[in-house]
Chain A
């Protein structure tokens, strides 16, 4: 089911850990669908000097987190900002369609961490993510039915194609 790259990152995830004194922290995900990720950044001269992650999730989620940290480490904030979910999935040599949902975690967590870093710099505080019970998407990523790939419009709970309540 998973590519060699995904399995390699799952078996040997890079940059696992927490940072007590992080310059930016990004927490995304929702236990409702089984994926949560926290990314920690150490930034020096607008460059990501160190990055660590923790993930609660499936093989794809762990692999995504691991490769994301590899892609972001050493990049400038501007370069890191450009890393997209698509880039991550491509770097993993693709993911099964119903796992693309997990791949959204990686880049999103990075962007939330970058935002947090910028907020800290300018003295603002980042609001705690409000995690309600419903499946909540924090950054406008799209949701696809895991059975037939039809896009589920935001706010909807059922896939119109297979008539299933997937959310």
Chain B
């Protein structure tokens, strides 16, 4: 029986058009886009065509401002480290939020080892950043602000346009990790006002291992990879052309179908949240009720641990994700869930369900039924539940 995928944040299936584009690219035997002869020309053309598609998706009028990378993580690393190193004469202070993805956090941690300083602004109980807090955190030696566009654990979306007004006023660069937003919800670099924007192909039905970084002209940035002059001298190395062509095809589909996709997943999200109380009790819904990814539901189920739920649902051929420490390979609870005020134990029972075009309302019914059984079984084993029930 085919698994019901309710974990689209980890992996979206390659749509048939994307698969076809990539297979055609493999068969076309493109050369290296950097070569000076006809074989290279064909490759360069294909590369630039994909770049145009991605640029259009981002509302970017000059495709050259898109740098292709190996994915969201590399884009984030490039944005943060590249800007930090290139601008360190001006200052060594960076402002961020306390719910960023690990790619941001660990890049900043690496910079701290090189004497950079970082200030994290807190979020409210819904995970929203207050632009005033960002303004207050900016100092004379601040060179970069990095605030994610949407969060992968709780779905909350940030007021990047308001934050960019602040950063522009203070003449500080703004980077936004938009990996879980681009191709899912409308993201237009002009409207947002960010100077740098990271994205990846896998959230919008493109291949994994491909992504990019939008860089506004005039931004001083050092490349991570030194060597040739590819990607406008911002990222050396022969491009992953087949992957990029896949991303380009996925970008075209995302633009064409964005409204209908959003409507589809929104319906599933609303159904899940509406029906959930009929199946389980004792849970919190995480994230902002309004400013939230339409395809993501994050719930913290009390008294049980998340990985156990994932295993039980896996036995029923349903794939979901959890933010428990054990599942993340960490020894501490998720920093994002703690930042919005969850207790340690409740944070461990957090499930993240993300929908895609391949999901149906029937999938949600099956999921809820399986979830009810798993929660009951695990609560029967749980000392926390016994304590709570017994008083």
Contact = CB atoms under 8 A, between A and B. Distances in A.
Interface stretch (A34-42, A86-94, A116-124): A34-42
Interface string B276-311: 000000000000000000000000000111111001
A33 B343 CA distance: 12
B327 interface: yes
Contacts of B110: 163
Nearest to A36: B383
Interface of A: 2, 7, 10-11, 13, 16, 18, 27, 31-38, 54-62, 98-99, 101-102, 133, 135, 143, 146-147, 163-164, 166-167
Given A31-B345, A35-B326, A16 B380 contact: yes
B218 interface: no
A34 B382 CA distance: 12
The A contact surface, by secondary structure, is mixed
A34 B326 contact: yes
> Among B333, B344, B383, which residue has the most Cβ atoms of chain A within 10 A?
B383
Contacts of B304: 56
B331 A167 contact: yes
Interface of B: 106, 109-110, 113, 303-308, 311, 315, 324-327, 329-333, 343-345, 348, 380-384, 386
A112 to B, nearest CB: 13
A31 B383 contact: no
Nearest to B324: A34
A92 to B, nearest CB: 15
B109 A55 contact: no
Contacts, number: 93
Given A56-B304, A57-B305, A59-B311, A33 B332 contact: yes
A101 B383 contact: no
B332 A59 contact: no
A34 B322 CA distance: 12
B113 A54 contact: no
Given A11-B315, A62-B308, A55 B329 contact: no
A165 to B, nearest CB: 8
Contacts of A35: 305, 326
A36 B332 contact: no
A36 B384 CA distance: 9
Contact of B386 (A33, A54, A164): A54
A31 B343 contact: yes
A96 to B, nearest CB: 9
A37 B113 CA distance: 38
B310 to A, nearest CB: 8
Contacts of B344: 31-32, 133
6 contacts: A34-B326, A58-B327, A59-B307, A61-B305, A135-B332, A147-B329
